[in-house]
Amino acid sequence: MAYSRRIPSGGASFGQKSLPSRYLPILSLATLALLSACSSLSTPPGGLGVPHLEARSSKNRPVWIDSLGQWQKDHPGREYFVGTTTKEPDQESGRTDAYQNAIRSIAERIGERARSLYRETSSRNMDETGSGMDMSVRRHVTSLVTNEASARISGARVEDYFWQKFWEKDQEDQPPYSFYKYSVLVSIRKDLYDALLRKSLEGARQNASDPKVRSLLERMIHNSSH
């Protein structure tokens, strides 16, 4: 036979027991507080547009991120490079992009060495022929060598990494989102690094279309070994 259970007039019913009416205001306040706490989680503690740190790979920030020179001094056996990324959707993307940025840093460092070598070679050429540096030629040579280095880097390895996970909300009517900041420490043996400069110079010389640039790169190769 169907029946209905009557809620006593004295208060709300929980199972077979009723809760006195005097406790209902307390329950209402507690419920509101709970709902308020849950809704506040949708906004970062710092406010809209301010990233909030949610997690990280280690408690302490590695020294090599901010003081790579000091790290290099304390670890002289290899050449070290740092790659970083921001606002990556996941760890895999952050790790991959940070590594590629570190590899790019190796090529750019080789380009800087080529630029210095160009200045040295041009200074010698000025003493010998009276012809000085040409800024457009310097930029062209640096670009050629950097591109060659990018294609020839080998033997680089990941030594360490550090990531941070943030969440942020830009607008009140938009949902919050998470992202990663990733840093990777990459190293390469000194002999491979030094050989990379010469190989990049030789590759640039072979691919240079201007005979004068090829001649200049030939002199740079000669000077790099002295």
Domains of the chain by residue range: 47-134+155-190
| pLDDT tens-place string over residues 117-156 | 999 988 876 654 445 568 888 999 999 999 999 999 999 9
Residue with tokens 């002999």, as numbered in its chain: 191
Spell out the residues 6+ positions from residue 74 whose beta carbon is closer than 8 angstroms to its own: none
Q: What pTM was estimated for this model as a whole?
A: 0.74
pLDDT at 36: 43
DSSP per residue, 37-62: HHHHTTS-TT-TT--EEEEESSSSPP
Residue 72: closest CA among 107, 109, 100, 101: 109
Question: In 68-169, where do the E strands start and end?
Answer: 78-88, 157-168
Give the mean pLDDT of 178-194.
97
